[in-house]
Amino acid sequence: MAEQLRLMAVHAHPDDESSKGAATMAKYVAQGVDVLVVTCTGGERGSVLNPKLDRPDVWANIADIRRAEMDAARAILGIEQAWLGFVDSGLPEGDPLPPLPEGCFALQDVEVAAGPLVRLMREFRPHVVTTYDEEGGYPHPDHIMCHKVSMAAFEAAGDPERYPELGTPWQPLKLYYDIGFSKGKIMALHEGMLAAGKESPYEEWLQRWEDRPDKGPRITTRVNCAEYFPVRDDALRAHATQVDPDGFWFQVPMELQQRAWPTEDFQLARSVVDSPLPESDLFAGVRETAHAR
């Protein structure tokens, strides 16, 4: 009998799992895949982006609230979830940028910080891992550190000479970067809104795009998961301090999203199995080999 398929998604903060690849995870859960989200930090220094919750009592209990929000999102997505236990670095602002807080995630030694993730990889034994690219998806210090730690753990988890005290070695077969937004996706949603006679929330994004590289050419894998976009949005709304339910992310009607861009997109960054590109399945090349693991 083929081995149970397992997917691990490594994210920087609670809420990242619901805004990046959530519909893909929900689809695989529905197919019977075991999915584990690893959350590197507690999100303690994140902003409260829901004006209804920007209150002193919320800020006073923000760490506990973020954990409760993560638990609610986990239940909606049907996933497992584990905390690595690092402290949020915050997003520094200003010119020059202020120093990062002492002891925060982004200032950890990569080899040391990768240890807890190596342990989880050896315990959960994922066939596929998703994380952020070298820019962190966007340049938040915790997202960049999440990339570094994910890459280090992916390379070390299967090596019996690395971290020998952290369990029996296990080599994941594939690693992907989330590609949340490409110019093609933004254009499709923008043009869909205009064609429907609606005001597009992406006008300003497109005006700024000339100053940003387009990650669309990096996409190798498009997972059709439009059916699970409502689950994604429900999970995102569960992070009530992190998202305004009347805000930007919910301005495009669901049926338009599903029609204009029905996939979540990824870049295959590492693979130890054969899988011709482009792909439509994160487990392409894995399903055929998992029974031998």
Residues belonging to the binding site for Zn(2+) are 13, 16, 143
| DSSP letter string, the chain | -PPPPEEEEEESSTTHHHHSSHHHHHHHHHTT-EEEEEEEE--TT-----GGG-SHHHHHTHHHHHHHHHHHHHHHHT-EEEEEEEPP-----SSSPPPPPTT-GGGS-HHHHHHHHHHHHHHH--SEEEE--TT-SS--HHHHHHHHHHHHHHHHTT-TTSSGGG-S----SEEEEEE---HHHHHHHHHHHHHTT---TTHHHHHHGGGS---GGG--EEEE-GGGHHHHHHHHHHSTTT--TTSGGG-S-HHHHHHH--EEEEEEEEESS--PSSBS-TTTTTTTTGGG-
Binding site residue list: 13, 16, 143
